[in-house]
Structure 1
């Protein structure tokens, strides 16, 4: 994979997986909206996720994975970009608003209800400050394309972060049989997958299963809460969800001396 094609692939991606080392434990993993900042891969988390952002930046090595073909453009390609993360704590929201907001509005429809006009941005001011994680890609390689709910991204840490798109034949077995994992690698591991409603992305379930990987098997220590797409939310659920996000963002911003 040519590193020069990385920004084009990210611009064409709707969602991605971000994994990072957590030495001695299973890698951390979340679903993200992939963005491009200054030609480099970036992720912009609301301040309610400050703990996650700081943990990812302190891990020492991370991987941004494009594996999900849904919501993609013509220049998308499955790939894995690895390297260190730098965290920019954009407490005023200027970096996000000037450089990344247009990308997020294009890719992530739920953002439009909060920031698609100057009036909305004033009302939801807490949504614009962001924790911007910028990946410095040391290596970019072709990845595997997820084709269904049995396909997930595997991250294994044996002192180095190994990432593959794999298939779980049967989620009911113990240990889990993992097809397509890295050969000769063993250590704490995580499986991360995503289910989302297309094209609105109003429902977005990210599931992680942690354990220990060896010889194409994952011995599970922390199963996913669910791997099913969340049900269609009612009006009350939507209101509560937005208010919870607002409270968490405002609390984190104030704790960091912003707002």
Structure 2
């Protein structure tokens, strides 16, 4: 990972936070506006994530820069921060690269992966979950602390600032506003968002204890000062997401499998296989 000596301490903080967290966020800018997905933090020489190919549309929109965030602490002293820099993206439809140390890390951190690919037999049966896009943070240009997301109403705010992706942690009294309405945002660090009518994405995510249910909610729009003028809304905060019941779990598994298989098929067609 490229970094200057002045950044070494912050980069070490990033490595500590990324290695120690079971969930984080990958944020970036696209031609259609800011984007973000919840991720399982992995680390081999550098911070990375291994996105299932169900996320192929998001993978295709990744530019050469992104932000790797840890916004929810893993413990009372857990660091929360964001690192921005250059990234590389490699498609691994057969799970060759993912099938080494990365899958072992994910199995330890992510219970659904423990069920799907926790053994060699499971990896063969659920081959579609081994197919990934590996996103690596190849160069770090900046690391800064973030206030922690500690409540269901807390979320990351993603936007462009100074020609790069900017991430803050915000909250609001009420997230029920839909398109055509406004939401007043409160930065958790007490600062001033100073929105300039730029496009913005607010994303929160929550999981049941077994992580089978890991859902994100979003608000999109433009940010003026501290106010988000909402143009799109999907979902909302859930302070206590319950685990799936048996039939719900089976349905979710089938949906995930179907989406992953479709992503694998699309990548294989591109590669002429």
Q: TM exceeds 0.5?
A: yes
- Return the alpha-carbon distance in structure 2 between the equivalents of residues 41 and 21 of structure 1: 19
Superposed, 1:1-259 pairs within 5 Å as 2-23=10-31, 25-38=32-45, 40-56=46-62, 58=63, 60-69=64-73, 72=74, 76-136=78-138, 137-158=140-161, 159-172=163-176, 174-180=181-187, 183-186=193-196, 187-198=198-209, 200-228=210-238, 231-257=242-268
Report the Cα distance in structure 1 between the residues aligned to 2:86 and 2:218, rounded to whole angstroms: 22
Is the 8 Å Cα contact of residues 208 and 243 (structure 2) preserved in structure 1? Answer: no
Instruction: Name stretches of at least 5 consecutive residues in structure 1 with no aligned partner.
Output: none
Name the structure with the higher strand share.
2
SS in 2 for 1:95: coil
Distance 2:40 2:128 in 1: 18
Report the Cα distance in structure 1 between the residues aligned to 2:77 and 2:172, rounded to whole angstroms: 28
Residue 170 of structure 1 aligns to a residue whose secondary structure is coil
Is contact 1:13–1:73 with CA below 8 Å preserved after alignment?
no
By how many angstroms is 1:73 displaced?
A: 5.6
TM-score, with structure 2 as normaliser: 0.84
- Which is further off, 131-140 or 236-245? 236-245
- Number of residue pairs matched by the alignment: 252
With the length of structure 1 as denominator, give the TM-score of the two structures: 0.89
